[in-house]
């Protein structure tokens, strides 16, 4: 055999080995890419789970002291306002009626927000609770 034939055979052998190495590297890279894709899916799923858990915690947090104070103040103002529309402050029944309206507002608010104590109202419901008080009309419950 001539040296050019031997060189061609050696060259083809080298090229075939290089091709096999490239194919095995391609398979390894494909496996690596698939592993990364699966990891991304797993991470995305875990992030969504954590976000849901965080939202559950946020949704279950009750009113702060400042929010409770604002709500109490709103109920006091509303009960006084309702009483002044129906009675004179000099009337004997004025204080009694203020108390009745106050109890009625608290009672209906607890029913509306399904809590045993107004302080258990969730923070995310604070604006709704404040609006409930400000918009409260006893006629709606008689």
Domain boundaries, the chain: 1-60, 65-141
Q: Which distant-in-sequence residues (6+ apart) come within 8 Å of 12 by Cβ?
A: none
What distance in Å separates the CA atoms of residue 86 and residue 74, rounded to the nearest whole number? 19
Neighbours of 98 (CB within 10 A): 19
Q: What average pLDDT is seen over the chain?
A: 90
Average pLDDT for 97-116: 95
Neighbours of 37 (CB within 10 A): 10
Return the bridge partners of 122, or none: 62
Average pLDDT for 5-22: 83
Average pLDDT for 44-60: 88
**Cα 66 vs. chain centroid, distance in angstroms?**
21
Identify the pLDDT of residue 6: 66
Identify the pLDDT of residue 92: 82
């Amino acid at each position: 055999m001539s040296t050019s034939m031997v060189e061609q055979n050696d060259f083809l052998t080298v090229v075939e080995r290089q091709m096999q190495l490239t194919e095995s590297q391609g398979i390894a890279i494909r496996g690596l890419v698939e592993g990364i894709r699966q990891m991304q899916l797993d991470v995305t799923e875990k992030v969504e789970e954590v976000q849901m858990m965080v939202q559950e915690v946020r949704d279950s947090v009750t009113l702060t002291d400042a929010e409770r104070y604002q709500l109490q103040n709103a109920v006091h103002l509303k009960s006084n306002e309702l009483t002044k529309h129906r009675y004179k402050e000099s009337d004997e029944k004025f204080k009694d009626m203020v108390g009745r309206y106050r109890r009625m507002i608290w009672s209906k608010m607890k029913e509306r927000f399904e809590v045993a104590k107004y302080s258990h109202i969730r923070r995310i419901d604070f604006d709704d609770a404040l609006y409930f008080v400000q918009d409260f009309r006893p006629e709606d419950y008689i």
